[in-house]
């Protein structure tokens, strides 16, 4: 009987899909584990942490005990600063990384100039750049943005480069046969051909921007989500740490989703190809 009822139930949009249910269960399981770890774990260290209930109560408190909740203006100032820094770094990385990657992939000379330098600089973790960044730049703000920018820039450049390299030689030859100039080839072959990889790179860059941003903010900033996480640790305001982390997760997810959405809009042909492959 249930097998007959199931299809009609699924056609109702109010009934959540199997995927949504599973995702919800996973989330619920995590919250239960968290609660259990705080209250029933034999390890003392776990018992110090705030439980999920405490966090939600503080997060939605019109009069937050530690000053940060969705009703506090400060909360949005911190979100604004972090988002502004992440986006500024991201767009700077795109502006410089995409053209550099394209020319490195397309012109062997540019590749020869830049490739080994980049592969030496790339493994240096963002935190290692912080002292240099503070020495180099006049204020905290550009220093944090610089550190955040670096990782996003490497991700963008490298993925764009791989994207151009992965374009079959025959596309270049076909374009040349049909009378395309170098500029046409750049516009009609190199850029669209590398676009799927460019967008993979942008998604990685967006993620990388957020994680290096928080590292930068923890060390050298007066605002931002990384700052409140670190500051709350120092001030023993543990629920606020978790509020900061959860907010980072949300904002990071939303910005990556935005990049994906733009990518899909720009590459109708690629979606179609993926659709065929499935």
Partner 1 sequence: MSDTQTSAPAGPAGLAPRPETGRLSISHVGKVYDPDGSAVVAVEDFSLEVAAGDFVAIVGPSGCGKSTLLNVLAGFDTLTSGEVLLDGTPLARPGLAPRPGPDRVVVFQHGALFPWMTVLDNVTYGLVKQQKMPRAEARRRAMELLAASGDLDQIAGSFPAKLSSGMQRRVEIIRALINDPKVLLLDEPFRAMDTVNKNTMHRHLLELYRRNRKTIIFITHDLEEALFLADRVIVMTTRPGKMKMDIAVDLPRPRTRAMMASDAYLALREKAVVAVSEEAKRAFERGEREMA
Residues that bind partner 1 (CB under 8 A): 168, 170-171, 173-181, 184, 188-189, 192-193, 195, 267-270, 272-273, 276
CB of 79 or CB of 164, closer to partner 1 = 164
Residues 38, 35: Cα–Cα separation, whole Å:
5
Give the containing element (helix H, strand E) for 168.
none
- Residue 120 beta carbon to partner 1: minimum distance, rounded to whole angstroms: 28
Of 198, 202, 113, which Cα lies nearest the Cα of 160? 198
Helix (DSSP H) and strand (DSSP E) numbers for the chain: 14, 0
Give me the least distance between CB of 176 and partner 1, in Å please.
4
In the bound state with partner 1, the residue whose beta carbon lies nearer, of 196 and 216, is 196
Q: How far is the CB of 161 from partner 1 (least distance, A)?
A: 19
Nearer to partner 1, 67 or 192 (CB): 192
75 burial (CB, 10 Å; 0-12 / 13-18 / 19+) is: buried
Q: How far is the CB of 263 from partner 1 (least distance, A)?
A: 13
Those residues whose C-beta lies under 8 Å from the C-beta of residue 238, and which sit 6 or more positions away, are 48, 49, 50, 232
Alpha-carbon gap, residue 36 to 51, rounded angstroms: 9
Inter-residue contact 228 to 68 (CB < 8 Å): yes
Please say which residue, 216 or 263, places its beta carbon nearer to partner 1. Answer: 263
Rounded to a whole number of angstroms, the minimum distance from the CB of residue 106 to partner 1 is 16
Q: Which residue has the tokens 């942008």?
A: 202
CB of 102 or CB of 189, closer to partner 1 = 189
CA dist 98 and 93 (Å) reads: 8
Smallest gap from Cβ 190 to partner 1, in A, equals 11
Closer residue to partner 1 in complex, CB, 137/171: 171
């Amino acid at each position: 009987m249930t097998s007959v009822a199931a299809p009609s139930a699924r056609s109702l949009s109010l009934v959540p899909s199997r995927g949504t249910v599973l995702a919800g269960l996973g989330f619920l399981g995590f919250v239960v584990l968290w609660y259990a770890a705080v209250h029933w774990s034999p390890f003392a260290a776990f018992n110090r942490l705030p439980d999920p209930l405490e966090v939600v109560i503080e997060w939605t408190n019109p009069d937050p005990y530690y000053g940060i909740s969705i009703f506090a203006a400060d909360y949005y100032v911190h979100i604004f600063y972090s988002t502004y820094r992440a986006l500024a770094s991201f767009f700077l990385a795109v502006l410089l990384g995409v053209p550099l990657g394209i020319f490195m992939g397309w012109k062997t000379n540019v590749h020869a100039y830049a490739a080994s330098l980049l592969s030496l600089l790339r493994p240096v973790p963002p935190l290692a750049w912080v002292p240099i960044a503070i020495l180099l730049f006049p204020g905290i703000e550009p220093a944090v943005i610089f550190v955040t920018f670096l990782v996003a820039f490497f991700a963008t450049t490298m993925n764009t480069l791989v994207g151009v390299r992965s374009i079959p030689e025959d596309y270049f030859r076909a374009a040349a046969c049909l009378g395309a100039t170098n500029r046409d080839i750049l516009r009609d072959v190199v850029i669209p051909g590398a676009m799927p990889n460019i967008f993979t790179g942008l998604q990685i860059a967006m993620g990388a921007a957020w994680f290096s941003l928080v590292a930068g903010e923890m060390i050298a900033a007066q605002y931002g989500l990384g700052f409140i996480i670190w500051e709350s640790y120092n001030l023993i305001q543990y629920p606020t740490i978790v509020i900061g982390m959860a907010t980072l997760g949300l904002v990071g997810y939303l910005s990556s989703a935005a990049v994906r959405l733009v990518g899909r809009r720009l590459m109708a042909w690629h979606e179609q190809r993926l659709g065929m492959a499935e």
